[in-house]
């Protein structure tokens, strides 16, 4: 039976689990989870525990604070309950979820935490966790995503990772990596902490590096506000500018795909493939920064980014059997190049910066999806500048040599790479897709850099290694079909592992470690009987019976 479709549409007026408050340069996001408003009716979200629906609202809040409130320079995340900050992911929800849902839930939740860290690092909105009650599991992981953690000193509140001792799983959204890589907790203390179900509180939590400050309840709120105002002083976000409203997306859904103003997604279930066709405007719609801001969320590149982000999330959760995502573009390359130039000229503007980093996060979400990514470069394509990232993001890229005989209106396809592709949108390994493509091949990378701004033909792209293969009209349709049929014939699990290993070359970062180590191990653990078997920890939790473990170390 097909699982319930997941919908990512929400707004602050519709929130069931969060409250947003604004006071000049400081925003406060309060968690107040409604126990009976989960995505399913077989669990209650007690003690500020969360499911995917809670995190969909959190992701929406992060985006709105960034785009709709340029005046906000610090964000305080706290709880409306003065005894519980957050109890983490709801155990009954996890126990009753499919493997597919559990893994995608953890991935989306971690991407939301990453967007919080991205906000602090790149766009001048510092996040501070005001932990005014116990923070367990995913609740503490939410705090870890913030730049500062302030814990209330009430002799009872703790931070903890109870997953290993109680549930036989790992903290699901990067907690272990953030503890040692971000907060520099000693590995031996981290080992103790991760099996100490009751957690750590007070001065010991500060000493171990698990939190930054412990503050008495009597002055807790005052202290947190002081910290938020202090951090706001160092932000370059503007005063007196209007934000842009993230209006609801215009989307049509059917059993055959998704349709947006700038993006069409068509399903081919026989090939287990989805074709993403991106439509670039034929005429430039803006001249300067003022016009971009007046367009707001309807500015074509921002609108496309939101549509692509939405489509990727819906495809992940709602169409797990469509294993290949195929990207095509059409439209006027000059519009893309002019837009990139406008972004370059106004790189320090708060809104331009937000748009660029949103594009970066969306391209990263594509790469972190467990799908085969294919790009088709045909006559009429528009793979230039920012949209050329979709050539570099692909596991396979195919380019037509020349034109189709039945179409004499479209010129032979070309690819235009620019400096945009060499650093604007870094991957989770913190290097560009171009650097990743030619990793360890500096001469080839430099050869490509000398071609920036040029219209590269199929022959030139093949010679430079920009695309995987080029084919003429005679072979094109057959080669595309064979590739997609081949991908559909392989084990999806094996393909996920294969492609994730090949995509992220070079340096490791905290982010790449989370998605490689955590995703691989959690994926495996979520299928082991010790966790999910009939007598496993997830099924036994709350029943009063102890789990039964196979004690082989594998």
Q: What is the pLDDT along the chain (554 residues), one digit of tens a residue?
A: 345 799 999 999 999 999 999 999 999 999 999 999 999 999 999 999 999 999 999 999 999 999 999 999 999 999 999 899 999 999 999 999 999 999 999 999 999 999 999 999 999 999 999 999 999 999 999 999 999 999 999 999 999 999 999 999 999 889 999 999 999 999 999 999 999 999 999 999 999 999 999 999 999 999 999 999 999 999 999 999 999 999 999 999 999 999 999 999 999 999 999 999 999 998 876 679 999 999 999 999 999 999 999 999 999 999 999 999 999 999 999 999 999 999 999 999 999 999 999 999 999 999 999 999 999 999 999 999 999 999 999 999 999 999 999 877 888 999 999 999 999 999 999 999 999 999 999 999 999 999 999 999 999 999 999 999 999 999 999 999 999 999 999 999 999 989 988 999 999 999 999 888 877 888 889 999 999 999 999 999 989 899 999 999 88
Query: Taking a C-beta distance cutoff of 8 angstroms, is the pair 327, 395 a contact?
Result: no
Per-residue b or e along 346-364, where b marks 16 or more CB atoms closer than 10 Å to that residue's CB? beebbbbbbbbbbbbbbbb
CA distances from 140 to 83, 90, 168, 226, 509 (A): 14, 14, 18, 22, 21
- Please state the domain extents for the chain: 12-230, 253-415+455-503
Strands (E), 154-227: 159-160, 213-216
* Identical topology for domains 12-230 and 253-415+455-503: yes
What pLDDT score does 286 carry? 66
Instruction: Give the number of other Cβ atoms within 10 Å of residue 539's Cβ.
Output: 18
Residue 65 tokens read as 């604070």
pTM above 0.85, yes or no: yes
Q: What b/e readout covers 31-42, taking b as 16+ CB neighbours within 10 angstroms?
A: bebeeeebbbee
Per-residue DSSP letter, 4:
P
CATH of the domain spanning 12-230 = 3.90.226.10
Nearest to 122 by CA among 216, 36, 41, 235: 235
> What is the structure's pLDDT at 263?
98
30's CB contacts (< 8 A; 6+ apart) are 18, 19, 20, 21, 78, 79, 80
Cα separation of 474 and 160, whole Å?
Answer: 62
Residues 289/293/296/300 CA torsion (nearest 10 deg): -10
The dihedral built from the CA positions of residue 355, 357, 361 and 366, taken in this order, carries a sign that is positive
Residue 43: predicted pLDDT: 96
Pairing of strands 84-86, 372-377: unpaired
CATH 3.90.226.10 matches 253-415+455-503: yes
Confidence (pLDDT) at 397 = 98
Alpha-carbon distance of 146 to 498, in angstroms, equals 33
């Amino acid at each position: 039976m097909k699982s319930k479709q997941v919908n990512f549409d929400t707004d602050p007026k519709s929130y069931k689990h969060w409250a947003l408050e604004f006071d000049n340069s400081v925003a406060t996001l309060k968690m107040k989870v409604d126990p009976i408003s989960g995505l399913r009716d077989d669990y209650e979200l007690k003690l500020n525990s969360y499911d995917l629906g809670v995190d969909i609202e959190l992701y929406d809040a992060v985006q709105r604070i960034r785009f709709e409130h340029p005046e906000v320079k610090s964000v305080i995340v706290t709880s409306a309950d003065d005894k519980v900050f957050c109890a983490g992911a709801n155990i009954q929800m996890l126990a009753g979820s499919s493997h597919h849902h559990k893994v995608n839930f953890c991935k989306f939740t971690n991407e939301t935490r990453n967007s919080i860290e991205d906000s602090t690092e790149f766009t001048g909105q510092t996040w501070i966790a005001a932990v005014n009650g116990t923070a367990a599991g995913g609740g503490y992981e939410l705090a870890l995503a913030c730049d500062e953690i302030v814990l209330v000193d009430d002799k009872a509140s703790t931070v903890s990772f109870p997953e290993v001792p109680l549930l036989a799983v790992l903290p699901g959204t990067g907690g272990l990596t953030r503890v040692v890589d971000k907060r520099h907790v000693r590995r031996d203390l981290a080992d103790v902490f991760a099996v100490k179900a009751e957690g750590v509180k007070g001065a010991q939590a500060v000493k171990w590096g698990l939190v930054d400050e412990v503050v008495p309840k009597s002055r807790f709120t005052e202290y947190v506000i002081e910290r938020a105002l202090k951090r706001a002083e160092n932000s370059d976000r503007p005063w007196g500018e209007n934000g842009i409203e993230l209006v609801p997306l215009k989307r049509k859904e059917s059993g055959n795909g998704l349709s947006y103003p700038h993006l069409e997604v068509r399903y081919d279930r026989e090939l287990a493939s989805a074709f993403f066709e991106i439509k670039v405007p034929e005429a430039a719609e803006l001249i300067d920064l003022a016009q971009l801001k007046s367009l707001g969320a309807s500015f074509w590149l921002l609108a496309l980014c939101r549509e692509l982000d939405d489509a990727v999330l819906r495809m992940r959760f709602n169409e797990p059997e469509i294993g290949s995502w195929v990207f095509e573009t059409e439209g006027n390359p000059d519009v893309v190049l002019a837009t990139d130039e406008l972004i370059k000229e106004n790189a320090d503007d708060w809104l331009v910066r937000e748009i660029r980093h949103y594009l970066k996060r969306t391209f990263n979400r594509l790469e972190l999806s467990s799908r085969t990514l294919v790009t088709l470069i045909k006559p009429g394509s528009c793979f230039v500048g920012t949209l050329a990232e979709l050539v570099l993001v692909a596991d396979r890229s195919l380019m037509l040599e020349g034109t189709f005989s039945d179409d004499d209106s479209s010129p032979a396809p070309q690819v235009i790479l620019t400096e945009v592709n060499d650093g604007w949108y870094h991957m989770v390994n913190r290097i560009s897709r171009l650097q990743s493509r030619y990793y360890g091949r500096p001469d080839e990378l430099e050869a490509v850099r000398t071609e920036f701004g040029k219209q590269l033909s199929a022959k030139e792209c093949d010679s430079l290694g920009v695309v995987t293969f080029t084919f003429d009209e005679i072979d094109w349709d057959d080669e595309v079909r064979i590739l997609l049929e081949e991908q559909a014939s392989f084990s999806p699990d094996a393909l996920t592992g294969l492609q994730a290993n090949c995509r992220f070359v070079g340096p490791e970062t905290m982010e790449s470690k989370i998605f490689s180590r955590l995703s691989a191990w959690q994926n495996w653990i979520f299928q082991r009987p010790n966790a999910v078997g009939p007598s496993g920890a997830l099924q036994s939790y709350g029943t009063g019976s102890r789990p039964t473990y196979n004690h082989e170390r594998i």
